[in-house]
């Protein structure tokens, strides 16, 4: 089954990016010339999703200018603008419900705009539907899982612990896992989000579902996933793509090399693991090393 609708959470401030986050919203950080939010749209489209909602707050007009109504990407994009107060992951979903709930109980895919992923979304959706879960989190083994609030699953993939707390059934769980920010939600799950203000979807709706012992599944992945919340992680994410560690089958163009419109002047050298984009000029005698995007 192809789920027709998705939401990209794109309203964050990007404070950990320093000057980069003040000049542009995090979803507009370019990876080989393509903003992260465009990568997200391309990944969703690659899996057959054509109706996408995006919430906006900090410098959100840049995102809207980049994507427009989505027609150029063969998708339909609608925006949920958060004026005044930022609403958080839960509040953002609550406000955008009219854009993502088709009224027939069809699940919706949700992802964070700071991600670049290449996991099999069809497999995630199949598991969600097979389990009848209200919510399915994509999770991964990560050394920082405990730092960010881990969860655990049993052998069947059901979530046994959330934010370090066991559920009412008392199941034993496996090793600590980290939520990736990719999830599939039944519309009824959105009823669990408090009706006003800034809300975290994990600490409200997910925590309530877990405490009740409700249908809550995990999908463990080891496929490519990277989030770009700091300058260091952003630079590493760019390097991952240029050097081929990110197997992004849905890339819109070459992820390394020199664009035909770029000018390489006499004596200039460009490493094979660099990306030089349209309109760039590499001056006389300049040397561009690996892991560089221009």
pLDDT tens per residue across span 2-31 = 789 999 999 988 888 888 888 899 999 999
Quick one: 194 and 262 in the same domain?
A: no
Quick one: 176 and 105 in the same domain?
A: yes
pLDDT tens per residue across span 196-229 = 999 999 999 999 999 999 989 999 999 999 999 9
Quick one: 226 and 278 in the same domain?
A: no
Quick one: 200 and 263 in the same domain?
A: no
pLDDT surpasses 80 at 170: no
Is residue 246 in some structural domain? Answer: no
- Domain range for 277: 256-294
Quick one: 194 and 270 in the same domain?
A: no
Taking the model in full, what pTM does it have?
Answer: 0.95
pLDDT surpasses 90 at 82: yes
**Range in 150-164, 195-209, 213-227, 251-265 the model is least confident about:** 150-164
Is residue 193 in some structural domain? Answer: yes
Quick one: 79 and 218 in the same domain?
A: yes
Average pLDDT value for residue range 68-95: 97
Give residue 274's pLDDT.
96
Please, what is the average pLDDT of the chain?
Answer: 94
Quick one: 213 and 264 in the same domain?
A: no
Is residue 243 in some structural domain? Answer: no
Give CA torsion, residues 257, 261, 265, 270, to 10 deg: -10
Give CA torsion, residues 158, 51, 62, 92, to 10 deg: -40
pLDDT surpasses 80 at 272: yes
What is residue 101's three-state secondary structure? Answer: coil
Number of domains in the chain: 2
Is residue 28 in some structural domain? Answer: yes
Is residue 244 in some structural domain? Answer: no
Is residue 148 in some structural domain? Answer: yes
Quick one: 68 and 190 in the same domain?
A: yes
Give residue 215's pLDDT.
87
Is residue 40 in some structural domain? Answer: yes
What is residue 192's three-state secondary structure? Answer: helix
Asked if 270 and 289 touch (Cβ cutoff 8 Å), the reply is no
pLDDT tens per residue across span 86-126 = 999 999 999 999 999 999 999 999 999 999 999 999 999 99
Is residue 169 in some structural domain? Answer: yes
Indicate which CATH number applies to the domain containing 31.
3.90.550.10
Q: Which of 110, 293, 71 is nearest to 189 (CA)?
A: 110
Dihedral (CA of 225, 230, 232, 237) sign: positive
Quick one: 194 and 264 in the same domain?
A: no
Share of residues in the chain with pLDDT > 90 (%): 85
- The first and second tokens of residue 62, run together, are 């840049």
């Amino acid at each position: 089954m192809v789920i027709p609708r998705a939401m990209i959470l794109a309203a964050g401030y990007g404070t950990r990016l320093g000057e980069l986050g003040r000049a542009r919203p995090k979803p507009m950080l370019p990876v080989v010339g393509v903003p992260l939010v465009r990568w997200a749209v391309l990944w969703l489209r690659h899996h057959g999703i054509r109706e996408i909602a995006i919430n906006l707050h900090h410098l959100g007009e840049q995102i809207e200018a980049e994507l427009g109504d989505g027609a150029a990407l063969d998708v339909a994009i609608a925006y949920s603008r958060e004026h005044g107060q930022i609403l958080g992951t839960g509040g953002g979903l609550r406000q955008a419900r009219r854009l993502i709930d088709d009224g027939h109980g069809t699940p919706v895919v949700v992802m964070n705009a700071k991600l670049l992923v290449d996991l099999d979304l069809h497999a995630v959706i199949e598991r969600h539907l097979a389990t009848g879960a209200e919510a399915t989190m994509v999770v991964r083994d990560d050394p920082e899982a405990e730092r960010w609030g881990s969860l655990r699953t049993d052998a069947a993939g059901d979530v046994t612990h959330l934010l370090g707390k066991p559920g009412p059934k008392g199941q034993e769980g496996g090793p600590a896992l980290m939520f990736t920010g990719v999830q599939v939600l039944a519309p009824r799950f959105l009823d669990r989000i408090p009706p006003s203000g800034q809300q975290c979807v994990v600490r409200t709706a997910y925590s309530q579902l877990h405490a009740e012992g409700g249908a809550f599944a995990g999908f463990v992945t080891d496929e490519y996933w990277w989030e770009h919340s700091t300058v260091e992680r952003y630079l590493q994410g760019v390097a991952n793509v240029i050097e081929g560690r990110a197997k992004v089958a849905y890339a819109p163009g070459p992820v390394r090399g020199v664009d035909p419109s770029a000018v390489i002047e006499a004596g200039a050298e460009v490493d094979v693991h660099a990306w030089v984009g349209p309109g760039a000029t590499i001056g006389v005698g300049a040397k561009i090393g690996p892991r560089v995007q221009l």
